């Protein structure tokens, strides 16, 4: 199921929170929805799901707006909040929404097991840790076995192990099960290993919509390979001899331009050179994200003031 | 719609708020009934003697005093969605928010009717035992059953008013405090000030008094008119709340 956002606009008083925002989320892939805090991500997601009324524009799920979906819970699952009635158990929380959506209440136990909360299901949600709340929110989203998942900062409050689990789980939902996944974050590094595409927003406007490969190729230092080898000097000779671009040596480390890690590796192997490290230089990705979004929060108020002054 | 109504019942009965309110209402009504019976026939209290029809009318309508707890039941039923931020999953499940409010009105009217049945039963049992010990237990005759049924109806409608008020205000503490202040401060003043007493019959308290009237007071509507006015307040609040408050952005 394809999600399309077109012309989405929303102001809160004088502040333009989201401005003519449009993007597409494709099935079978994970799309990262990135931007600094205050860029309008949560407002956008809430507008897509009919919780906040847009001033203009809207979102559709295979052409149908959320409020018009015949079975919204079976179509779209969303993690927007980790707030629950503190005196109600996680399992009963899920059962409420099973009943409301006409699903068998046994789904509550299914999804609790899926997110690793089976043992805590009968405890009151008020006693849950932040990570358990995130898992319960995810379980709520999965109740209807939806084709689309919308996750707002799902890694918040998860411990490193939980984040690792979440990454694998999200990839599984999209790549193995073919679901459409949109996951928001204010950190590119947090979702870098998970997402296939990115939609980057700043100050409520679209900054960049691209695949991760496209983003990487535009990054500073893209196409640079870092190599470490006890025979760095000999490897440099080998690489220069095969017509590689720029090769620079610094102790046991080499920096190679214009070659992929695979190409460098196969040439080292052919020459019998021992390698201790071989990787693409990716730090530029964070830099390009920072450059794309830098200062956008501060601009938000200033831009609106100028617009209203005109 | 039946799914949403059942979901509301699951919400209500998976926390213990209902138990506290129901027990509270039963204890409160039992206390009032004992109080009225103990002072029955006391010339200074002005309560008629045990065995008179007026005493029975008075003692068997103490259940209506639990109206504040039924109001709170309805208020909590609606406002907990905002207080605990479960409005998000609730409105994701049912994007047409008017249907959620309608489901709550139906769910809480039915639950309140059941709870009110328990409360009037406690009312009757306490009076029957206490007045019986004093020599004249009231019979379950037509008049007395009508009195008890009037209380049951009034309590049920107050829960609906609570849902409507909660929908209008969204803020749980504000709605409960507002309800208490209105019922115990504003209405008694309107009722007792001659200039405004004429309007009292159209107010929720006046309408309830018309339905369950006992003590002498200002001019009131007929019983069925009172019931309709009371129900009207609940439904108008629910409809206004849906359009003015519940449909607002859930951020």
Q: What is the pLDDT of residues A69-100, one digit of tens each?
A: 999 999 999 999 888 999 999 999 999 999 99
pLDDT of B28 over the 50 cut: yes
Nearest-angstrom CA–CA distance, A172 and A165:
11
- Looking at beta carbons, which residues of chain A come within 8 Å of B90? 100
Q: What is the mean pLDDT of chain A?
A: 87
In this structure, the dihedral spanned by the alpha carbons of residues B232, B237, B239 and B244, taken in order and rounded to 10 degrees, is 160
What pLDDT score was predicted for residue A219? Answer: 56
- Distance of alpha carbon B1 from alpha carbon B102, whole angstroms: 8
Delineate the domains of chain A, giving CATH numbers in brackets: 3-217 (3.40.50.300), 224-280 (3.30.70.100)
Chain A: give the shortest CA distance to residue B91, in Å: 7
Which residues of chain B have a Cβ shorter than 8 Å from any chain A Cβ? 3-4, 6-7, 10-11, 14-17, 80, 84-86, 88-96, 249-251
Please list every residue in chain B whose beta carbon sits closer than 8 Å to the beta carbon of residue A69. Answer: 95
**What residue in A sits closest to B80 (Cα-Cα)?**
A85
For residue A282, what pLDDT band results from cuts at 50, 70 and 90?
A: low
**In DSSP terms, which residues pair with A182 in a beta bridge?**
A31, A150
Contacts of B11 in chain A (CB under 8 A): 85, 88, 96
Tell me whether residues A97 and B84 touch, CB distance under 8 A.
Answer: no
Is the model's pLDDT at B20 over the cut of 70? yes
What value does the CA radius of gyration of chain B take, rounded to a whole number of Å? 19
Q: Which helix (H) or strand (E) holds A8?
A: strand A3-12
Q: Which chain B residue is nearest to residue A91, measuring alpha carbons?
A: B14
pLDDT tens-place string over residues A107-140: 999 999 999 999 999 999 999 999 999 999 999 9
pTM of the model as a whole: 0.85
* Beta strands, E only, A145-286: 148-152, 180-185, 197-202, 205-211, 224-228, 247-250, 253-257, 277-280
Query: What are B246's two structure tokens?
Result: 């519940």
Does A79 contact chain B (CB < 8 Å)? no
Residue B112: its pLDDT value, please? 97
Q: What is the pLDDT of residues A139-168, one digit of tens each?
A: 999 999 999 999 999 988 888 888 999 999
């Amino acid at each position: 199921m394809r999600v399309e956002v077109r012309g989405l606009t929303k102001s809160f008083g004088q502040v333009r929170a989201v401005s003519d925002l449009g993007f597409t989320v494709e099935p079978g892939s994970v799309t990262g929805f990135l931007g600094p805090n205050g860029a309008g991500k949560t407002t956008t997601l809430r507008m897509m799901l009919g919780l906040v009324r847009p001033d203009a524009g809207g979102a559709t799920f295979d052409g149908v707006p959320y409020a018009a979906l015949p079975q919204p819970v079976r179509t779209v699952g969303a993690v927007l909040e980790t707030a629950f009635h503190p005196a109600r158990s996680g399992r009963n929380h899920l059962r409420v929404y099973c009943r409301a959506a006409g699903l068998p209440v046994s789904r509550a136990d299914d999804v609790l097991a899926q997110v690793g909360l089976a043992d805590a299901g009968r405890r009151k949600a008020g006693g849950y840790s932040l990570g358990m709340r995130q898992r319960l929110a995810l379980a709520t989203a999965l109740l209807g076995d939806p084709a689309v998942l919308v996750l707002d900062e799902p890694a918040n409050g998860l411990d490193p192990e939980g984040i690792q689990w979440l990454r694998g789980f999200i990839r599984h939902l999209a790549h193995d099960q073919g679901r459409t996944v949109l996951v928001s974050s204010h950190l590119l590094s947090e979702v870098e290993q998970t997402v296939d595409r990115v939609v980057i927003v700043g100050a409520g406007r679209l900054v960049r919509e691209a695949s991760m490969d496209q983003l990487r190729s535009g990054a500073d230092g893209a196409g640079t390979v870092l190599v470490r080898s006890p025979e760095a000097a000999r490897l440099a000779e080998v690489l220069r001899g095969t017509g590689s671009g720029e090769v620079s040596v610094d102790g046991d480390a080499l920096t190679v331009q214009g070659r992929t890690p695979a190409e460098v590796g196969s040439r080292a192997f052919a020459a019998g050179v021992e390698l201790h490290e071989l990787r693409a230089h990716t730090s530029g990705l964070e830099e390009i994200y920072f450059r794309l979004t830098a200062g956008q929060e501060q601009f938000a108020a200033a831009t609106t003031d100028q617009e209203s002054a005109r | 719609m039946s799914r949403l109504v059942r979901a509301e019942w699951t919400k209500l009965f998976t926390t213990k708020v209902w138990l506290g309110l129901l027990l509270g209402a039963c204890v409160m009504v039992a206390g009032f009934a004992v109080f009225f019976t103990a002072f029955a026939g006391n010339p200074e209290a002005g309560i008629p003697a045990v065995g008179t029809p007026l005493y029975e009318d008075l003692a068997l309508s103490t259940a209506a005093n639990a109206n504040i707890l039924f109001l709170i039941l309805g208020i909590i039923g609606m406002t907990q969605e905002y207080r605990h931020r479960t409005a998000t999953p609730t409105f994701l499940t049912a994007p047409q928010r008017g249907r959620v409010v309608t489901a709550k009105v139906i769910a809480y009217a039915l639950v309140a009717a059941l709870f009110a049945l328990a409360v009037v039963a406690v009312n009757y049992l306490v009076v029957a035992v206490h007045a019986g010990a004093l020599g004249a237990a009231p019979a379950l005759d037509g008049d007395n059953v009508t009195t008890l049924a009037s209380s049951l109806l009034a309590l049920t409608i107050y829960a609906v008013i609570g849902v409507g008020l909660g929908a209008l205000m969204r803020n749980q503490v504000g709605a409960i405090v507002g309800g208490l202040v209105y019922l115990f401060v504003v209405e008694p003043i309107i009722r007792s000030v001659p200039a405004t007493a004429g309007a009292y019959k159209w107010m929720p308290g006046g309408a309830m008094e018309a339905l369950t009237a006992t003590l002498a007071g200002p001019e009131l509507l007929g019983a069925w008119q009172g019931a309709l006015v009371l129900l009207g307040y609940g439904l108008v609040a629910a409809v206004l709340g849906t359009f003015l408050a519940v449909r607002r952005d859930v951020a």
